Amino acid sequence: MKELRYLRQEHLPNIWCAGCGHGTVLGSVIRAMEKSGIDQDRTVVVSGIGCSSRTVFYLNMDTIHTTHGRALAFATGIKLARPDLKVIVMAGDGDLAAIGGNHLIHAARRNIGITCICLNNGIYGMTSGQYSPLTPAGYVTTTSPHGHVERDFDLCKLVQAAGATYVARSTAYHTQQTIMYVSRALAHDGFSFVEVLSQCPTYLGRRNRMADPVTMLEWFRDTTVMAGAAARMKPEELEGKTIIGEFHRTTGVPEYSRAYREMVARVSGAEMAQAGASGANLMPVGSEPHVE
């Protein structure tokens, strides 16, 4: 259990409900850290607000519990200020996909070197069970008492379309895959995204005949298909299934904080050369001022 060094063990047991998948995902993450030899003194883990975002309370490194939805924006500041640090975001589906959706697509678009792990339990756990953008269609939650009217949503597809250069999905049942994908994400140079389906027996499960965490894990086991296998299946066969696996992995796209530093090197070099340049004439003649 060498990986336990990544936890603030003095603060365990954690606050999560019995059988909450978030603890399992946290376990997979620290094993991936161990595997990747993550340096606890050069890593910052950033979360938002939610049960999932409480992970940063237990990780034994620099951690920050920010405001709801904004983890990636804080992380962007940290990464740009200290590109040498490993920056990881861990947060929930509500946090990253609902209120934080814009920061997610823009972090992906910039390909900034942050590893983002979405603990997707398809519900707002912390606030007691309202629907999230990832709640399955038809499910009952406290804000969809008559069955959820919205469609199912594929977050990995969105993040990939936004420009992420590493994208994978696993579940709290598939711990070994999770460890593998998170390790690869941590090694990736660019924006890497791993969605991990996690169970919330207390709110999603209880209202949808899966009050037992074991039932929820069986649900993950029985309704997921590996990407490779899915590619060989017909659409009808995939009905109701969630595809897991590595969806996207590309290199050669410049990582943003490095690309920025390269520009800085170019510009500040030029600046040194042409010493004494004044900033006084920044406004081009004829440029009129600014509005709204």
Partner 1 sequence: MAPRKARAIEVNTSWCKKCGICVAFCGPEALRVNGTGMPEVVALDACTLCMLCELRCPDFAIHVVEDKEEAAARDATAAAHAG
Partner 2 sequence: MPQPRLMQGNEACVEGALEAGLRFYAGYPITPSTEIAEMLADRLPKVGGVFIQMEDEIASMAAVIGASLTGLRAMTATSGPGFSLKQENIGYAAITETPCVVVNVQRVGPSTGMPTSPAQGDVMQARWGTHGDHPIVVFSPSSVLETYTLTVKAFAVADELRVPVIILTDEVTGHMRERVELPEPGTLPRGARPGSGPQGNGDRAPDIPPMTHFGEGRRKLVTGLYYDESGWWSEHPEDADRLVRRLSQKIESRREALAIVDRWYLDDADVVVLAYGCVARSALRAVRNARARGRKVGMLRPACLWPFPSHEVAAIAGRVAAIVVPEMNLGQLVGEVERVAAGRCRVTGYHRVDSELIRPDELLPVLEEV
Partner 3 sequence: MSSDATEPALSAERWEATLAGEGGQGVITAGIILAEAAVLAGLNAVQTQSYGPESRGGASRAEVVISPGEIDFPKVTHADVLLAMTAEACRRYASKLKTGGLLIADPDQVPEIPSGPYRIVRVPIGRIATQELGRAIVANIVALGAVVALTNAVPVEALERAVLARVPKGTEELNREALHRGMAAGREAASGTPASS
Ligand X SMILES: Cc1ncc(C[n+]2csc(CCOP(=O)(O)OP(=O)(O)O)c2C)c(N)n1
Question: Taking the CB of residue 282, how many other CB atoms lie within 10 A of it?
Answer: 7
Q: Which of 126, 182, 194, 204 binds partner 3 (CB under 8 A)?
A: 126
Q: Is 201 in the site for ligand SF4 (CB under 6 A)?
A: yes
Q: Which of 63, 111, 121, 170 binds ligand X (CB under 6 A)?
A: 121
Which two structure tokens, joined as six digits, stand for 277? 């340049």
Which two structure tokens, joined as six digits, stand for 30? 């620290």
Q: Are strands 242-249 and 166-171 parallel, antiparallel or unpaired?
A: antiparallel
Residue 119 backbone dihedrals phi, psi, to 5 degrees: -90, 95
Number of helices (H), then strands (E), in the chain = 12, 8
Residue 121 interacts with which of a second copy, Mg ion, partner 1, none, CB < 5 to 8 Å by class = Mg ion
Q: Output the residue with the shortest Cβ distance to Mg ion.
A: 92
Q: Within its chain, how far is the Cα of 18 from the centroid?
A: 23
Residue 202 interacts with which of ligand X, ligand SF4, partner 1, none, CB < 5 to 8 Å by class = ligand SF4
- Nearest Cα to Cα of residue 46 among 124, 112, 116: 116
The piece of 218-226, 244-252, 264-272, 281-289 that touches partner 3 (CB under 8 A) is 281-289
Partners of residue 132 on adjacent β-strands: none
Residue 259 interacts with which of a second copy, partner 2, ligand SF4, none, CB < 5 to 8 Å by class = a second copy
Count of residues of this chain found to bind a second copy when the rule CB under 8 A is applied: 44
Which contacts of 221-226 are long-range, i.e. CB under 8 A and separated by 24 or more positions?
221/173, 224/171, 224/173, 224/174, 224/197
Q: Which of 10, 149, 275, 281 binds partner 3 (CB under 8 A)?
A: 281
216 in Cβ contact with 24 (< 8 Å): no
Q: Is 58 in the site for ligand SF4 (CB under 6 A)?
A: no
Partners of residue 224 on adjacent β-strands: 242
Q: Binding to partner 2 (CB under 8 A): which residues in 100-159?
A: 101-103, 106, 124, 127-128, 130-131, 133, 142-146
Question: Taking the CB of residue 201, how many other CB atoms lie within 10 A of it?
Answer: 22
Query: What residues make contact with partner 2 under the rule CB under 8 A?
Result: 8, 11, 40-42, 44, 46, 49, 56-57, 60-70, 73-78, 80-82, 84-85, 98-99, 101-103, 106, 124, 127-128, 130-131, 133, 142-146, 260, 263-264, 267-268, 271, 279-280, 282-283, 289-292
Query: What residues make contact with ligand X under the rule CB under 6 A?
Result: 49-52, 68, 91-95, 119, 121, 123-127, 132, 292
